[in-house]
Amino acid sequence: MKQSKYFLKTSKTFSEEDKIVSSKLLKQAGFIQESVAGRYYFLPIGHKVQQKIMSVIKEEMDAVGAQEMIVPTLHPLELWKETNRTHTTGFELTKVKDRRGSEFALGGTAEEMFVDLVRKYQLSYKDLPFQLYQFSNKFRDELRARGGLLRVREFIMKDAYSFHRNEEDFKLMYEQMKKTYSRIFERMGVQTIAVEADNGYIGGEYSHEFIVESEIGESRYFVSEDGAYAANEDVAKFKRNPANANEEQKSFEIIEQPMWVETMDDNVKHYKKDGGNFLKNVVYKNSRTGEIIIAVVTGDLEVNKTKLENVLKAVGQLVHAEDADLTALGTKSGYVHCWGHKGARYIGDIVLKDARNLIGGQKEEKTDSINVNYGRDFTCEMLADITMAKPGDLSEVGSALQEGRGIEVGNTFQLGFHYTNLMKGANYRDEDGVEKPYYMGCYGIGVGRTMAALVEKFNDEKGIIWPKVIAPFDAHLILLGNITPDLKNAAEGLYTSLRSKGIDVLYDDRDGLSAGEKFSDADLIGIPVRIVISAKTLAGGKYEVKLRNEKDANLVTEEELLKLIQK
Residue 39: its pLDDT value, please? 94
44-63 and 447-457 are packed helices; what angle lies between their axes, rounded to 10 degrees?
110
pLDDT in tens, 510-541: 988 999 999 999 999 999 999 999 988 887 88
pLDDT in tens, 254-263: 999 999 998 9
User: Quick check: bond before 72 cis, omega within 30?
Assistant: no
Of 34, 50, 69, residue with least CA distance to 452 = 50
Residue 346: its pLDDT value, please? 98
Residue 16: its pLDDT value, please? 74
Arithmetic mean of pLDDT, 483-510? 92
Contact criterion met (CB below 8 Å) for 293 and 347:
yes
Residue 119: its pLDDT value, please? 97
Instruction: Return the percent helix, strand and coil in the chain, to nearest 5.
Output: 30, 30, 40
Name the band, by pLDDT with cuts 50, 70 and 90, for residue 387: very high
Residue 90: its pLDDT value, please? 56
Name the band, by pLDDT with cuts 50, 70 and 90, for residue 15: confident
Contact criterion met (CB below 8 Å) for 157 and 135:
yes
Instruction: Give the span between the Cα atoms of 548 and 149, in whole angstroms.
Output: 24
pLDDT in tens, 328-359: 999 999 999 999 999 999 999 999 999 999 99
Residue 343: its pLDDT value, please? 92
What percent of the chain is predicted at pLDDT more than 70? Answer: 99
Name the band, by pLDDT with cuts 50, 70 and 90, for residue 503: very high
Residue 465: its pLDDT value, please? 98
pLDDT of residue 141 exceeding 90: no
**DSSP label at residue 2:** B
| Farthest-apart Cα atoms in the chain, separation | 99
- Pairing status of strand 219-224 against strand 230-232: antiparallel
pLDDT in tens, 240-253: 999 999 999 999 99
Q: What one-letter code names the amino acid at 274?
A: D
Arithmetic mean of pLDDT, 34-55? 96
pLDDT of residue 17 exceeding 80: no
Residue 446: its pLDDT value, please? 97
Instruction: Give the span between the Cα atoms of 387 and 308, in whole angstroms.
Output: 8
Contact criterion met (CB below 8 Å) for 466 and 45:
no
Q: Quick one: CA dihedral 237, 243, 245, 251, positive or negative?
A: negative
Residue 89: its pLDDT value, please? 60
Residue 223: its pLDDT value, please? 96
**Number of other residues whose CB lies within 10 A of the CB of residue 187:** 16
Burial 525-541 (b: 16+ CB within 10 A, else e): bbbbbbbbbbeebbeee
Residue 91: its pLDDT value, please? 61
Residue 88: its pLDDT value, please? 64
pLDDT of residue 281 exceeding 60: yes
Mean pLDDT (the chain, rounded): 94
Q: What one-letter code names the amino acid at 396?
A: E
Arithmetic mean of pLDDT, 98-103? 94
Q: Which of 69-73, 198-202, 273-277 has the lowest mean pLDDT?
A: 198-202
User: Measuring CA to CA, how many Å separate 233 from each of 223, 274, 346?
Assistant: 10, 23, 23
User: Measuring CA to CA, how many Å separate 535 from each of 2, 78, 123, 511?
Assistant: 20, 68, 69, 15
Contact criterion met (CB below 8 Å) for 448 and 46:
no
Name the band, by pLDDT with cuts 50, 70 and 90, for residue 29: very high
